[in-house]
Amino acid sequence: MEALLDFNAPFNVSLLDQIIDCLYSSRGNIQEIQMAQKVLSQFKDDPNSWTRVKQILETSNNQNSKFFALQVLLQVIQTRWKILPPDERDGVKNFIVLTVINCSKDETYFRQHKLFINKLNEVLVAIVKQEWPQNWRNFIPEIVNSSPSNENLCENNMNILKLLSEEVFDFSAGKMTTKKMTQMSESFRSEFKLIYQLCDAILQQAQKPSLLSATLQTLLRFLNWIPREFIFETSMLEILITKFLPVQQFRNDTLRCLTEIVSMVEPKYDEKFELIFVFIMRVIPSILPPNTNLPSAYKNGSDYDQKFVQILGLFFTSFLTNHLGVVEKDQHSQIVLEAHQYLVEISKVDETEIFKNCLDYWIYFSRDLYFSEKKASQSNIYEPLLLTRPASARKAIYSRIMSQVRLVMVSKMAKPEEVIIVEDENGQVVKEYMKDVDSIQLYKSMRDALIYLTHLDYVDTEKIMLEKLRAQANGYEWSRQNLNTLCWAIGSISGAMDEKDEKRFVVTVIKDLLNMCEMKKGKDNKAVVASNIMYVVGQYPRFLIAHWKFLQTVVNKLFEFMHEKFPGVQEMACETFVKISIKCKRKFVQRHQGEDVMFLEKILRNLKSNISDLEPSHIHTFYEAVGYMIQAALPADQERLIQMLMSMPNSKWQSIMNMAAQNVATLADTAVLKELANILKTNVSASKSIGNAYLHQMKIIFKDMLNVYKAYSQFISDEIAKIGVKAATHSNVRMMRAVKRETLKLVETFIANSDDTQLLVTSFLPPLLDATLGDYKASVPDAKDPQVLSLLSASMVKLQTAVDHYLPTILEYVLECTLPMITTNFEDYPEHRMNLFVLLKSINKYCFQSFLHIPPMGFKLIVDSILWALKHTHRNMFETGLNILQDMLSNIEHLNNDGLRNEFYGKFYLPILDDVLYIYTDTLHQSGFKVQTTIIHHLLYVVATNKITAPISEGQTVSTDVFVKQHIHDVLIQSFSNLNSQYLTQFIVALFGYIHQEQEFTNCLRDFLVTLREYQGEDVDVSDLYFEEKQKKEIESRQLRESVPGLDGPSAVNELAQSYDDDL
């Protein structure tokens, strides 16, 4: 096989065929296949391999060999084309053109070898991208003029033009430089008249179906960029609608073209859009009668027919989104309603992607109606939306359509995130363990639509939902799935009704659901009803706050569910309890009329009973919920309430401490370890929600907790000393480390929520550091607790400059011993890595001045850590490193000390620049492009504006800007030897030239990456290079959502609102 790699000997095509056959057939053994892969890979990478392509294509009869040859040639075109001599480039170009022509002319070969010809087309287009328009100015005239000679050739030319259009207009972002994109798109547009004449001639005169289909598909790719006059001022529209739309074979391609056309917004062609719509609405009923049962027809239809339904939905949503105002006229009112009726029927089809498309339109349309109605009511005059019809009259016209849309939304409602009890594919009711991300996103979109629809007519929404609920209760429409979708829809519209209407609605719903829970037989059915009750009540905090008695009833019902053993019911009851506690917490700590104590005290008195059947994790959730209530209590009551809440865990804690005082060895008992971990987790949950008042509890356990921490540290050290590092994997040691981890987590939560920074610094921080730092430094790597780093980071964030005194000690004890753990590779100790980088970020942000007083070696360790983070392969870590470096450079820039600034850049400018250039040109770190650009700009800016007034390198003999330019050139040419030195110099000069033009600077860096990818022949996702473009509409969207009641979910409500239980 190795003989294939001898490029000095005559090439043996038969040997290549044999190797290819060995690779693709099942006859060879594993060793032969591996050898074949190796030889072919080496052959492909050899710079002379492309010289064998012509011989392979002309003499081989093996299609796989020919395909391989084209792959070799394609790689050369993409990576080394510009360094080939001009005569060789012309030779390759002419050979490929001739091969394409010859393969296309023969009808049999053209049909039988489609894949090969498609690959040939891909190679030809790759050449065109390199040569056109500068070196191949006649490409478009040549391909157009050759088309009439042969129908197969003409069809293939259409495919080539389609492929080229896609490359230039659809996939060019990030793959071509801005200049190249502009040149090619302008050339395409300027010569499109020739292409249009060819397409028009084919569509008018050709009879061959495959040629006509290819032309329609090519035209589809042209429509989004060609000059609009070719669409609206020629016969194109007439040909599409009258000649091709009625013909089944061309229907889908034609409708795709029309969909692309109506997605355009061109006011001067509104009359044309109107005519398109009128004619389509005349033709569609003959294709798809209005009385068709579309869900059934779709289910039983062919793939082609199903695709037609999908495209028809896209057409209607595109047209109505962009041009509804054009056709909302009295003479078109009937067909506009018919179009919406078609869309309603399409929405009923059981196909997620089709429904999502329709859903987007219903959100748009209902939002449009809502705001036009709102605007008219606010101004007290009728104002039109693109026409002269009053908003309220407009809403009335669509009332029947919108009622059907409400019914569709209620019937198909997706599952919200809070619901964890589901029916599986076997009809069994089970607990959901994995979140369905797609379903959650679909729920959010459907919820938006239902919110708008409810605002438009809450009476109709209520009527639909209550009718379906009654049908569930009487068994007429009963099924678990039907009840689920109905209740998910009911919960989704919280906040969209007036408070009075919401009260009536919720009372009816909850009453019917509670009755249903009593009536239904079987644990599965009861669990489903219970799940829906909990979801619905959790969605209506405003109602619960306004009706205290009802809130009590709901909470007591939740306590009942907490004793239910069916999987998922207890967990959902606890989660609902937390949700209600967060929204209604003040109600539980008020003394209501006729009650001698606050309801929270009643909960605490029955605490043991309420949590008796709960799993430990659910108990922690319960404690978190009660903690939110205590947070809302008066300060005078908080200590007493905390004592009541924590009495059980404190009693167990004290019992263990008493035993440990007698014999410390009892702490190593497995049962004790489990109990301590559980007690600490309970405290973490309580501390998280109680907030600053948790200080009362922390004072009780803090000292003993640190003593336990130290004891376990000693236990672990002794165990490792006895049997070595493997002791860290033993079960008892892992349980001890779990207790230590929960201790650190509790203290971190306490510090983050505390308001008294002085008390933290004087009373808590010294003993905490004493217990943790020495142990962390002395422990073997496998026994170091990464939570220590997280705790220190939280301390920096909370205490900021108050910990300046401790910072050198902290860095001494954690930095030097952690870096060796994480700098040998990118995989080991991931928690330590992330937590260390977050700690450095916190220090850099809140304690930067203290950095400047750290000994030089310590500061170098910090910078080295940050630079190591930059090169990490894990996205979170390298982006954290980038952010730390960006903050650090910003802090350095704002120093009022030129000496310190020069000293910093003298030591670290070049290492920082080198590492940032490394990740900037590395595709693994492309997601950080935005911050990389900011850092590179900063580094060049401080040089270009003479912010650095001292040399940045010992061997520097020229000005800093000249030195940096040459350094960047040398670094890049060393990393990418095939780069052109002259081009690289031009790039660096351009960068410095754009130093005061931020957008041009970014474009210059982006274009360089594109050129680099061309040289390397890489095909990567470049979406991260356009990060800013993705975020432009976020603020506008957020503001719109805030203006619609209920759209952002059960939002902030008045917890002090008066209760109206007497009216209930």
State the Cα–Cα distance between residues 445 and 359, nearest whole angstrom.
Answer: 8
Rounded to 5°, angle at Cα 830 from 828 and 833 = 105
pLDDT at residue 363, rounded to an integer? 96
Tell me the pLDDT tens digit for each residue of 452-473: 999 999 999 999 999 999 999 8
**Structural contact between residues 821 and 868, judged by C-beta atoms closer than 8 angstroms:** no
pLDDT at residue 1036, rounded to an integer? 57
State the Cα–Cα distance between residues 383 and 175, nearest whole angstrom.
Answer: 47
Percent of the chain with pLDDT over 90: 62
State the Cα–Cα distance between residues 242 and 263, nearest whole angstrom.
Answer: 20
pLDDT at residue 428, rounded to an integer? 63
Tell me the pLDDT tens digit for each residue of 107-145: 899 999 999 999 999 999 999 999 998 889 999 999 999
pLDDT at residue 562, rounded to an integer? 94
Tell me the pLDDT tens digit for each residue of 1034-1049: 555 656 666 677 666 6
Q: How far is CA 73 from the centre of its chain?
A: 37
Residue 1052 DSSP one-character state: -
SS3 for 817-833 is: HHHHHHCCCCCCCHHHH
3-state DSSP assignment of residue 1026: helix
pLDDT at residue 1034, rounded to an integer? 55
Tell me the pLDDT tens digit for each residue of 380-414: 544 444 344 455 788 899 999 999 999 999 999 99
CA distances to 459, 509, 536, 778 from 494, rounded to whole Å, are: 14, 13, 9, 55
SS3 for 529-547 is: HHHHHHHHHHCCHHHHHHC
Amino acid of residue 764: F
Tell me the pLDDT tens digit for each residue of 821-840: 888 888 888 899 899 989 98
Percent of the chain with pLDDT over 70: 92
**Structural contact between residues 90 and 37, judged by C-beta atoms closer than 8 angstroms:** no
pTM (two decimals): 0.81
Under the banding of pLDDT at 50, 70 and 90, the label for residue 1016 is low
Under the banding of pLDDT at 50, 70 and 90, the label for residue 52 is very high
What is the mean pLDDT of the segment spanning 745-766?
94
**Structural contact between residues 657 and 704, judged by C-beta atoms closer than 8 angstroms:** yes
pLDDT at residue 606, rounded to an integer? 95
Exposure b/e, 738-760, CB count within 10 A at least 16 = b: bbbbbbbbbbbbbbebbeeeeeb
691 — alpha (psi -120 to 50), left (phi > 0) or beta?
A: left
Element (H, E) at 138: none
Under the banding of pLDDT at 50, 70 and 90, the label for residue 728 is confident
Under the banding of pLDDT at 50, 70 and 90, the label for residue 172 is low
Tell me the pLDDT tens digit for each residue of 860-897: 888 888 898 888 888 888 899 999 999 999 999 888 88
State the Cα–Cα distance between residues 172 and 170, nearest whole angstrom.
Answer: 6
3-state DSSP assignment of residue 431: strand
Under the banding of pLDDT at 50, 70 and 90, the label for residue 1064 is very low
Under the banding of pLDDT at 50, 70 and 90, the label for residue 3 is confident
CA distances to 93, 152, 160, 198, 1003 from 148, rounded to whole Å, are: 22, 10, 15, 9, 42
Under the banding of pLDDT at 50, 70 and 90, the label for residue 848 is confident
Alpha helix positions (H), 611-666 = 616-632, 635-662
Q: Is 785 exposed, middle or buried (0-12, 13-18, 19+ CB in 10 A)?
A: buried
Beta-carbon count within 10 A of 706 CB: 18
Alpha helix positions (H), 191-302 = 192-205, 209-222, 229-232, 236-238, 248-262, 270-287, 294-300
Exposure b/e, 602-640, CB count within 10 A at least 16 = b: ebbeebeebbeebeeebbbbbbbbbbbbbbbbeeeebee
Domains and CATH numbers, the chain: 242-395 (no CATH), 895-1030 (1.25.10.10)
Tell me the pLDDT tens digit for each residue of 570-615: 988 999 999 999 999 999 999 888 888 999 999 999 999 999 999 9
Residues in the chain: 1064
**Structural contact between residues 764 and 702, judged by C-beta atoms closer than 8 angstroms:** yes
State the Cα–Cα distance between residues 558 and 323, nearest whole angstrom.
Answer: 51
**Structural contact between residues 554 and 548, judged by C-beta atoms closer than 8 angstroms:** no
State the Cα–Cα distance between residues 813 and 744, nearest whole angstrom.
Answer: 17
pLDDT at residue 1027, rounded to an integer? 45
**Structural contact between residues 674 and 735, judged by C-beta atoms closer than 8 angstroms:** yes
State the Cα–Cα distance between residues 102 and 309, nearest whole angstrom.
Answer: 39
